[in-house]
């Protein structure tokens, strides 16, 4: 049984991937990474002094960078061993990397690890432990007897100890509570590992997988929108797909998640998230630019040819830098040669409204626009009720500045909103007084949300939790010519309101006049007391700075309107 589809066939790698033009970029990508990340590599353990950094300072990258690098090296050498089986250097290197991974103290990263682990807790399963078990099980399946007996034995032993036994001993929050990417990534990896390594245990594990997948799917609205944002859609749904596909193959189609209408809806989410070129809808912790995983989108188009569109390979990626072997494998095994050379193409002019999320997305010939209502208690939450994005020429101009560098403090709700990236003060929404921002929690939300083609409005006053702000109705009027944002508010006497807009281009201010490259702004200067901006340093993406532009309104003003063209 070809449990990994055509990826299970040696000839696919040594002939098709090695020779066909549609795999040229794939071959070159892996060979380039071999030269840059594997040649001359010193084999070392992940040191303790880096492991403990997270518990001391909350900083994650000291340990995670070499951890990810090792998994990139593992994936590159495995793929090249398949494409070029006559080259012993790839297989020899791969077996060394497998040995290193099997020697790791834990496959779980420190940020997700229980404190002071017992021997059993060293098998704690987080996202990355689950992925590591999945990776080794796929490599075991793909390379089979080419791996030396000791390496094969180590893979079996460590998967049993760290994945199978751990699952039998414990239940996890991602299994019994989570409705986000954790449940899909962890269980998608675990059930795939069970099928590849211990198929006799399928009937034992499948009920747990079903319950977890059902909970994951419940986290999406009926329209398929993902409140975690499009990058976490990629992550969670990609591993859900991997698990669902191997289950379908193993059960000979008796269990087929792709037949569920909701899964089809979820599959179309990504094509609604492009604004202009790679500039995308970056709500929650998503990045400002979006590439699609070429294998995922080709597979989804194959499943749903009437619904899923495939874009140019120039917008695609193979691996996200974290060493996810499933991405690297399915970028080839799920690639469709016909779609590669003749992508279905996206709709350049469209308008989507996701009622479950309260998101409006519109693309015109000259710009892309997105706005959100929602609430401030979402997965990967930012306090951003009322925020919006305006993109042109493949770049956000009015922007969502994205996430900060991940750390312990960033994922602690007591400190998360001290980061400007998560605070409403880092988004295109008003603030009160000298900096009174929106609050965290699902009760802080938009109400009276209304959408009619081209018009989107809601009252966002409740997001601030301040009784002095009695109403704040934001309305977007969107046409092919531009976007008009109107705020009408009822606020207590003596409380000032400042309209803030997040930009990726530095504004030029002269008195009450503002120029922003790439757009024309129209607004009533008679309502404005002062215009200023502050600069925010960014640590993710290609942009170094964002600019927070403030229009402080005059006392007694109850409405402000700005048109962006």
pLDDT tens digit sequence for 249-271: 999 999 999 999 999 999 999 99
The dihedral over CA atoms of 428, 433, 439, 445, expressed in degrees to the nearest 10, equals: -60
Question: Residue 345: its pLDDT value, please?
Answer: 67
The pairing of strands 482-491 and 559-564 is antiparallel
Q: Is a pLDDT exceeding 70 seen at residue 118?
A: no
Q: pLDDT band at 2, cuts 50/70/90?
A: very high
> How far is it, in rounded angstroms, from Cα 206 to Cα 202?
6
Looking at residue 307, what DSSP letter applies?
T
Is 324 strand, coil or helix? coil
Structurally, what CATH architecture does the domain formed by 5-341 represent?
Alpha/alpha barrel (1.50)
End-to-end CA distance of the chain: 57
Which distant-in-sequence residues (6+ apart) come within 8 Å of 92 by Cβ? none
| Domain locations along the chain | 5-341, 350-564
Q: Is domain 350-564 in CATH 3.40.50.2300, yes or no?
A: no
DSSP3 helix / strand / coil % (the chain, rounded to 5) = 45, 20, 35
**In this structure, is the dihedral angle defined by the CA atoms of residues 244, 168, 126 and 74, taken in order, positive or negative?**
negative
The pairing of strands 447-452 and 455-459 is antiparallel
Packing angle, helices 127-143 and 325-333, rounded to 10 = 50
The pairing of strands 521-523 and 528-537 is unpaired
> How far is it, in rounded angstroms, from Cα 557 to Cα 21?
63
For 42, other C-beta atoms within 10 Å of its C-beta total 4
Question: Residue 123: its pLDDT value, please?
Answer: 75
Q: Are 398 and 422 in contact (CB under 8 A)?
A: no
**Which residue do the tokens 């500039």 mark?**
279
Beta-carbon-side half-sphere exposure of residue 546 (alpha carbons within 13 Å): 27
Q: Is a pLDDT exceeding 70 seen at residue 34?
A: yes
pLDDT tens digit sequence for 299-330: 999 999 999 999 899 899 998 889 999 999 99
Q: Are 463 and 444 in contact (CB under 8 A)?
A: yes
Of the chain, the percentage scoring pLDDT greater than 90 comes to 92
Question: Residue 346: its pLDDT value, please?
Answer: 66
Q: Is a pLDDT exceeding 90 seen at residue 1?
A: no
Looking at residue 260, what DSSP letter applies?
S
pLDDT tens digit sequence for 475-534: 999 999 999 999 999 999 999 999 999 999 999 999 999 999 999 999 999 999 999 999
Q: What is the mean pLDDT of residues 345-372?
A: 92
The pairing of strands 316-317 and 292-293 is parallel
Same fold flag, 5-341 and 350-564: no
pTM value > 0.85? yes
Q: Is a pLDDT exceeding 70 seen at residue 21?
A: yes
Q: What is the mean pLDDT of residues 113-121?
A: 63
> How far is it, in rounded angstroms, from Cα 493 to Cα 329?
62
Mean pLDDT of the chain: 95
Nearest one of 291, 294, 295, 292 to 334, comparing CA atoms: 295
pLDDT tens digit sequence for 135-182: 999 999 999 999 999 999 999 999 999 999 999 999 999 999 999 999
Note the helical H segments in 160-198: 165-169, 173-176, 181-197
pLDDT tens digit sequence for 448-473: 999 998 899 999 999 999 999 999 99
Label each residue of 242-289 as H, E or C.
HHHHHHHHHCCCCCCHHHCHHHHHHHCCHHHCEEECCEECCCCCCCCE
> How far is it, in rounded angstroms, from Cα 441 to Cα 49?
37
> How far is it, in rounded angstroms, from Cα 242 to Cα 175?
17
> How far is it, in rounded angstroms, from Cα 321 to Cα 304?
29
Question: Residue 278: its pLDDT value, please?
Answer: 92
Q: Are 34 and 72 in contact (CB under 8 A)?
A: no
Residue 447: phi and psi, rounded to 5, are -130, 165
Surface-to-core class of residue 317, CB atoms within 10 Å of its CB (0-12 exposed, 13-18 middle, 19+ buried): middle
Looking at residue 59, what DSSP letter applies?
B
> How far is it, in rounded angstroms, from Cα 87 to Cα 378?
49
**In this structure, is the dihedral angle defined by the CA atoms of residues 334, 336, 337 and 342, taken in order, positive or negative?**
negative
Largest CA distance in the chain: 80
Question: Residue 348: its pLDDT value, please?
Answer: 78
pLDDT tens digit sequence for 534-551: 999 998 888 999 999 999
Q: What is the DSSP string of 483-524?
A: EEEEEEEEE-TT--EEEEEEESS--EEETTEEE-TT--EEE-
């Amino acid at each position: 049984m070809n449990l990994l589809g055509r990826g299970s066939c040696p000839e696919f790698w040594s002939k098709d991937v090695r020779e066909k033009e549609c795999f040229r970029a794939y071959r070159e990508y892996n060979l380039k990474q071999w030269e840059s990340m594997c040649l001359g590599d010193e084999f070392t353990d992940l040191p303790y002094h880096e492991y403990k950094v997270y518990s001391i300072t909350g900083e994650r990258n000291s340990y995670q960078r070499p951890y990810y690098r090792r998994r990139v090296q593992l994936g590159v050498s495995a793929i090249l061993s398949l494409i070029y089986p006559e080259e012993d250097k790839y297989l020899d290197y791969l077996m060394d990397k497998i040995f290193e991974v099997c020697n790791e103290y834990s496959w779980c990263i420190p940020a997700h690890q229980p404190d002071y682990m017992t021997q059993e807790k060293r098998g704690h399963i987080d996202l990355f432990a689950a992925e590591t078990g999945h990776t080794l099980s796929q490599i075991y399946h793909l390379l089979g007897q080419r791996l030396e007996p000791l390496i094969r034995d180590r893979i079996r032993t460590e998967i049993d100890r760290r994945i199978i036994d751990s699952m039998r001993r414990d239940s996890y929050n991602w299994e019994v509570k989570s409705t986000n990417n954790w449940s899909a990534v962890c269980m998608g990896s675990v059930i795939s590992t069970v099928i590849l390594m211990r198929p006799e245990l399928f009937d034992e594990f499948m009920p747990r997988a079903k319950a977890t997948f059902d909970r994951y799917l419940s986290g999406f609205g009926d329209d398929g929108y993902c409140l975690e944002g499009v990058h976490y859609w990629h992550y969670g749904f990609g591993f859900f797909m991997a698990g669902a596909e191997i289950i379908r193959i193993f059960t000979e189609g008796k269990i087929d998640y792709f037949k569920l209408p909701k899964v089809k809806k979820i599959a179309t989410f990504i094509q609604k998230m492009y604004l202009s070129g790679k500039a995308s809808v970056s709500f929650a912790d998503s990045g400002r630019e979006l590439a699609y995983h070429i294998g995922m989108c080709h597979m989804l188009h194959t499943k749903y040819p009437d619904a899923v569109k495939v874009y140019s390979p120039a917008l695609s990626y193979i691996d996200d830098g974290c060493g996810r072997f499933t991405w690297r494998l399915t970028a080839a095994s799920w690639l469709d040669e016909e779609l590669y050379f003749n992508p279905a193409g996206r709709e350049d002019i469209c308008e989507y409204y996701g009622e479950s999320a309260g998101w409006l997305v519109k693309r015109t010939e000259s710009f892309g626009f997105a706005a959100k209502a929602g609430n401030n208690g979402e997965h990967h939450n930012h306090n951003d009720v009322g925020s919006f994005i305006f993109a042109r020429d493949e770049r956000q101009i009015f922007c969502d500045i994205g996430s900060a560098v991940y750390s312990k403090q960033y994922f602690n709700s007591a400190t998360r909103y001290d980061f400007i990236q998560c605070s409403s003060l880092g988004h295109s929404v008003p603030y009160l007084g000298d900096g009174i921002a929106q609050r965290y929690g699902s009760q802080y939300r938009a109400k009276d949300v209304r959408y009619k083609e081209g018009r989107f409005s809601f009252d966002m006053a409740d997001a601030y939790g301040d009784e002095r702000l009695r109403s704040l109705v934001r309305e977007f009027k969107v046409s092919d010519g531009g976007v008009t944002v109107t705020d009408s508010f009822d606020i207590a006497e003596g409380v000032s309101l400042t309209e803030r807009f997040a930009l990726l281009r530095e504004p030029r201010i002269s008195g009450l006049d503002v120029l922003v490259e790439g757009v024309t702004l129209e607004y009533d200067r008679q309502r404005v007391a002062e215009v200023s901006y502050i600069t925010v340093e960014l640590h993710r993406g290609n942009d170094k700075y964002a600019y927070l532009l403030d229009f402080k309104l005059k006392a007694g003003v109850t409405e402000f309107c700005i048109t962006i063209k």
